[in-house]
């Protein structure tokens, strides 16, 4: 049976589709525009998304590896608890963001812009993407676009317990975002408008707020079990 942590982040990616479409909908829509000598749009779209999700998984592996250094030290419970609380506070901020409090993740996105300013110029050499060989690296680079939702889930990877589980956690999140972006690519305007509906945004936000509240409520009872990587075991 799948661990609940993976289910949670998959649902966050799936129900956070309004944000995904706002951030990446334009580029996936552009991949469906027919151009002379271009490979089929579905191949470009899949290649782009494969690259994007691969970037998420790589970042999850790195963050999960860093987090495991603290989580595996039995004598550092305060550090473990701080990481756990920080991860759930980021989820809380994400829930507020999805509910319409647009400044909730502003600080983290500003930090990410520094890295994106260095990466964005590299994307130009793959635009317009006419082949899988261009769409794949474009997706790999676009995975580093400053996104508060991605950063929020990455903080959960700190508690995954290992680099492998951190990568798996972000892979689950990336797969959750995939249906919305595929639909946005091929259903374009009508789907994008529907996904931006206020009711859906509020439902997504309250779901994430529920995950965050449950995590913070459980914080005092976790104790030494944190070293196991609770994000993937609770």
**pLDDT averaged over consecutive 10-residue blocks of the chain (234 residues)?**
68 74 66 73 89 95 83 60 78 80 70 84 87 92 85 83 90 90 67 59 78 75 51 46
Q: Name the nearest CA neighbour of 27 among 10, 8, 52.
A: 52
Query: Please, what sign has the CA dihedral across residues 202, 203, 204, 207?
Result: positive
Sign of CA dihedral 123, 108, 56, 31: negative
For 169, list phi and psi in degrees, rounded to 5.
-65, -45
How far apart (Å, rounded) are the C-alpha atoms in residues 14 and 172?
A: 10
pLDDT for res 114: 82
Residue with tokens 């290992």: 162
CA distances from 59 to 26, 63, 66 (A): 23, 6, 11
Question: What pLDDT sits at residue 230?
Answer: 47
pLDDT given for residue 208 in this prediction = 79
Which distant-in-sequence residues (6+ apart) come within 8 Å of 146 by Cβ?
109, 110, 111, 112, 113, 115, 116
Given this model, what pLDDT does residue 26 score?
66
Summarised one tens digit per residue, pLDDT across range 211-229 is 778 777 776 665 545 444 4
Task: Specify whether the CB–CB gap between 2 and 23 falls below 8 A.
Answer: no
Q: What is the pLDDT at residue 130?
A: 86
What is the reported pLDDT for 138? 93
pTM (2 d.p.): 0.79
């Amino acid at each position: 049976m799948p661990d609940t942590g993976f289910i949670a982040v998959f649902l966050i990616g799936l129900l956070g589709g309004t944000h995904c479409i706002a951030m990446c909908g334009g580029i996936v829509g552009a991949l469906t525009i027919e151009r002379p000598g271009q490979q089929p749009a579905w191949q470009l779209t899949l290649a782009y998304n494969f690259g994007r999700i691969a970037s998420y998984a790589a970042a999850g592996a790195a963050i999960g590896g860093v987090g495991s250094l603290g989580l595996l030290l039995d004598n550092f419970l305060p550090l473990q608890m701080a990481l756990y609380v920080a991860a759930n506070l980021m989820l809380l901020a994400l829930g507020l963001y999805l509910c319409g409090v647009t400044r909730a993740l502003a600080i983290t996105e500003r930090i990410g812009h520094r890295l994106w300013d260095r990466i964005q110029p590299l994307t130009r050499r793959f635009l317009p993407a006419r082949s899988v060989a261009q769409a794949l690296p474009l997706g790999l680079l676009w995975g580093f676009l400053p996104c508060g939702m991605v950063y929020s889930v990455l903080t959960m990877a700190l508690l995954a317990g290992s680099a492998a589980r951190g990568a798996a956690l972000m892979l689950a999140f990336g797969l959750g975002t995939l249906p919305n972006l595929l639909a946005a690519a091929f259903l374009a305007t009508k789907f994008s408008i529907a996904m931006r509906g206020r009711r859906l945004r509020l439902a997504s936000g309250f779901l994430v707020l529920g995950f965050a509240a449950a995590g913070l409520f459980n914080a005092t009872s976790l104790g030494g079990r944190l070293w196991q990587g609770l994000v993937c075991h609770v």
